[in-house]
Each structure stands twice: as C-alpha cells, then as structure tokens.
Structure 1
Amino acid sequence: HMEVSSPGLDRVLKKERDFIRFLGYGVKVNTAKGFAGPRKLNGVLVAYQPDSISIKVEEEIIEIPREQISMVRLRPEE
C-alpha cells in the first residue's frame, strides 16, 4: 500500500531555504504560548529574517520572532 500526495501541499517550513523559496505563498502559522498575538494566523509570507518572519494578514503585516513560532505550514491553494 502506497500513499500518494502532492509534494509541498501542507508542507512544514523549517529551514531558511524553505522560507526564502516560499516567500509570497499563503501560510498557516501556529505561535508559541509566549506570543502576544493570536495562536493561529493565516496569511502570506512576505519577509524572512534569520530571527523572525513577517506575514500579511488581510492588510496588516505581523512580524513573529522565530522562537515564538511552533509551526509554519504552506496553505494549500484554494
């Protein structure tokens, strides 16, 4: 039995090259308990720095420190 899935669909972004490759893509971000904002964010990855990422949620740009991110996944395109 072999499961077939689309590579990249719901991919977890971990490495610097992943974040750079998927700039401009839709992402789902789960933040850690210490983050002052929402625990779950859906937006577009607009910037990557070694210590943080920035996502655009509606018309707002939110910068999230890397240590306050528990997971970032690509959002499947609808």
Structure 2
Amino acid sequence: MTTQAQSLIAELLSANGYELIEVEYVAARELYRVFIDRPDSRRGLDRIAVEDCATVSDLVQDALMAANVPYEHLEVSSPGIDRALTCPGHFERFAGETIKLTIAPPYDGLRKLAGVLSGFEHDHVVVAVDGVTHRIPYENVARARVVPQY
C-alpha cells in the first residue's frame, strides 16, 4: 500500500467525522481493508454502525478512483472489540483497558507484553503487569491491541 493512499483515506475520514484506525492492503487480491471509528469512541463498537461503513465505503471508493489508485476490492468495518491502538492518543484514550503489545525490536528483554494500560507518558506506553509498571518506548511498539473482556 502506498503512503499516498493511506494519507488520502486518513484525510478523507477526518474531514467527514471519522478516525482511521488501520488500513491493510492485500496485494494478491488488490484489496483494501479500512478500519474506522469515531474520534470520541471508547470501545469501538459503540459508535460505528453498518450505515457508517456504507457511507465511508462510498467516500473511499470515490476518492481512490479520483486519485487513480488501483484496487479491486474494498472492505470497511469498525475496529472491533480487539481494536488496534495505532497512535499515541489511543494509548491515552484506552487507559484502564487490558492490552497486548508486540515489541520490536525487543526492549529490556521483552518481545510481548500483556497487562493493564496505564497511559502514554513522554513517548512511552505505560503498562502494569502483576504490579510491575513497564514503560515501553512508543517506537518499539510494533503492534498493540485491546484484549476483549466478556
């Protein structure tokens, strides 16, 4: 996926009251997967309806065509209950949630970490695991997801 396409989608969503969570591109199928939310959503499922996905799908489809970005398929959905945390603001907004982190390169010998998100401080993701607080540099966070609570 090109940076141009991701920037185009992010700007389009922001201008229409949505937030881009993730964009995946599957080259073999020429498929864009776009995960959206509302900037004030807490859990992800509480704000995005099927109608939102249809609206965003139409907007993104028109924008990709106008920009001559080749694709065959487009999927738009909510981030789900195991939503990705993809920017510093997400780590602030979802403080108190249980999360899983993949750390690359490893930091302090840690490759994976699961615990309660305390927040985001001084370019570090702060996670409490069994009473121990870990401060992981944001640049080392390869992947972060909320762990669903049932």
Pairing of 1:1-78 with structure 2 (within 5 A): 7-78=79-150
Q: Which runs of 5+ in 1 are unaligned?
A: none
Mapped contact 1:16–1:50 kept (Cα < 8 A): no
Paired letter, 1:47: G
Deviation at 1:50, TM superposition (A): 4.9
Q: Alpha-carbon deviations, 1:39-65, whole Å to 9, x = none?
A: 111100012125111100011000000
- Taking structure 2 as the reference length, the TM-score comes to 0.45
Highest RCO, 1 vs 2 (Cα 8 Å, sep ≥ 6): 1
> Runs of 5+ in structure 2 lacking a partner?
1-76
Cα deviation 1:4-29 (Å, max 9, x = unaligned): x8754111101232111100100000
CA RMSD of aligned residues (A): 2.0
Kept after mapping to 2: 8 A contact 1:10/1:75? yes
Once the two structures are aligned, what percentage of the paired residues are identical?
A: 36
Question: Could you tell me the TM-score, scaled by structure 1's length?
Answer: 0.81
Q: Is the CA contact (8 Å cut-off) linking 1:8 and 1:74 kept in structure 2?
A: no
Going from structure 1 to structure 2, the CA distance change for 1:67 and 1:7 (only over 3 Å counts) comes to closer
Bigger radius of gyration among the two: 2
Alignment: residue pair count: 75
Deviation for aligned residue 1:36: 2.1
Q: Do the aligned partners of residues 50 and 11 (structure 1) sit closer, same or farther apart at CA in structure 2, a change above 3 Å counting? A: farther
